[in-house]
Amino acid sequence: MADQKPYEQEPNLLSPNRNIAPTSTILNKEGKLLIGGCLLSDLAKKYGTPLYILDESTIRLSCAAYREALCKYYPGDSLAIYASKANSSIAISSIIKSENLGIDVVSEGELITALKGGFEGGKIFLHGNNKSEEELLLAYKSQSTIVIDNEQDITELGRLIPRGETPVKLMLRVTPGIECHTHEYIRTGHLDSKFGFDPEKVEEILYQLRDCKWAKLEGLHSHIGSQIFELQPHQDLAEVLSETLLLAKRIGHQINDLNVGGGLGIKYTNSDDPPTIQNWVEAVARAITKACEKRNLKLPRLICEPGRSLIGTSGVTLYKIGSRKDIPGIRTYLSIDGGMSDNPRPITYQSAYEACLVDRPLHTPQETVTLAGKHCESGDVLIKDLSIPQSSSGDILAVFGTGAYNSSMSSNYNRIPKPATVLVHDGSSDLIQRREQPEELLRYDVFPEHLRKVI
Ligand code: LLP
């Protein structure tokens, strides 16, 4: 039903990306919202607001969905790896590790977080279109796989890897030249992309890598974009990757891994209708199998690297409602105690979200408001037309679908501290990232001597 609220819908436990709310979301007898067995208003009281909440069971169900669908639909070996750019912390890494997934990292920070979370190099993959020397060296020393994106990666690694030592494990990222329908900022598969090798270049690079004693090319990689609801572009990718695999084999490489990237979308609002994780994996697995069989290629290990669809709908952000401004005949602004610094997605991609009052989610909406953030920017609006019951200053509001690319893209704009993150499970809550304190925002400020004299 199009107008049903997130917490009124029967959750899809097999494919959590199809729910707006975390899978454990329920209402108690008084009609108040609980997630992971914890009353949201209690969490707001205990940890303060704004507050990121992650539901452990939703994350684990999503991991199981990818793992099991790969086993079911792909006849060869497979591995799902979590794109930790979606939300990176030691606790999340450890959950992902305990679910037997791998992890994709794109910086030294994400790499050390994965290592602290218990990952070993064998299951870590480093991406990036401009990797630093430190990133390359740490990835090599931890025996992670490095996904080479351009010629500088090859030159730098050739310089950094000591001769006679274990070769560095590599994957080659190919720009597949595939268009898909998503926001232009999060499209990566089209030819005009900063990521990966242009298809015209791939043959030359494959020859170059064959002659590098310090490198072992183990796989090919492509990623077409994010928040995608279509299956066809992912299926088209199978042709590009298997054709490149054939080329690599002819050139003399023994390649075992094909990484098809991530990209499956999630349901942010009632009008979003993403495929299930099972549909997505089935489509990808069948396309890769068919494309490899057509070329008489031994089935490679199939790797996929979901971020958003693994963690997005496990997250909810709690805010406290503050001031109100009624502009007769125009709109009512309701301001909250966070905004674009904890969720930059609306201002960046015009993303839409669902929200409700945590203690009165079923009350009949009485007004339509514009939910404004507290930052000094008119565009700092989280939700444009939100229908809610009458509210007053101090009421707690939950915004759904904030598990991916919220905390990880947060900033300190206006010197506003970053929120805490709490993990909920079986009626308990654990702080996994503590709230930043205003004084901590000064920790990198340096006050030069000559200015002191002026004071
Ligand atoms: N692999 C690679 C190489 C990627 O670049 C990405 C996402 C993923 C996997 C995971 O994609 P996902 O399954 O999450 O769609 N900040 C944007 C999203 C940027 C995505 C960047 N790359 C947003 O908030 O929508």
The residue extents of the domains of the chain are 16-55+313-442, 127-305
Q: How far is the CA of 158 from the centre of ligand 1 (A)?
A: 29
Active-site residue list: 376
Domain spanning 16-55+313-442: which CATH class is it, in words? mainly beta
Q: How far is the CA of 226 from the centre of ligand 1 (A)?
A: 5
Q: What are the CA-CA distances from residue 2 to residues 199, 271, 272, 387 (Å)?
A: 43, 7, 10, 15
Spatial separation of the C-alpha atoms in residues 312 and 227, rounded to whole Å = 11
Cα atoms in the 13 Å half-sphere on the side-chain side of 308? 25
* Ligand 1 binding pocket includes 86 (Cβ within 6 Å): yes
Mutation probe of ligand 1 site: the residue of 79, 82, 84, 85 with most atoms within 8 A of C-beta: 85
Q: What per-residue confidence (pLDDT) applies to 2? A: 47
On whether the CB atoms of residues 255 and 210 are closer than 8 A, the answer is no
Element (H, E) at 104: strand 102-105
Q: What per-residue confidence (pLDDT) applies to 185? A: 64
Integer-rounded Cα radius of gyration of the chain: 23
Q: What are the CA-CA distances from residue 244 to residues 200, 238, 255, 437 (Å)?
A: 11, 10, 10, 50
Residue that is written with structure tokens 């610094």 in the block: 341
| Cα distance from N-terminal residue to C-terminal residue, the chain | 65
Give the closest residue to 262 by CA, choosing from 221, 218, 323, 297.
Answer: 221
Annotation: CATH topology of 127-305? TIM Barrel (3.20.20)
* Ligand 1 binding pocket includes 206 (Cβ within 6 Å): no
Give the closest residue to 177 by CA, choosing from 223, 144, 211, 146.
Answer: 223
* Ligand 1 binding pocket includes 223 (Cβ within 6 Å): yes
For the chain, residues with pLDDT lower than 70 are 1-4, 182-189, 454-455
Residue 108 phi, psi (nearest 5): -60, -40
Give yes or no on whether 16-55+313-442 and 127-305 have one common fold: no
Question: Who's near 208: CB < 8 A, 6+ residues apart?
Answer: 154
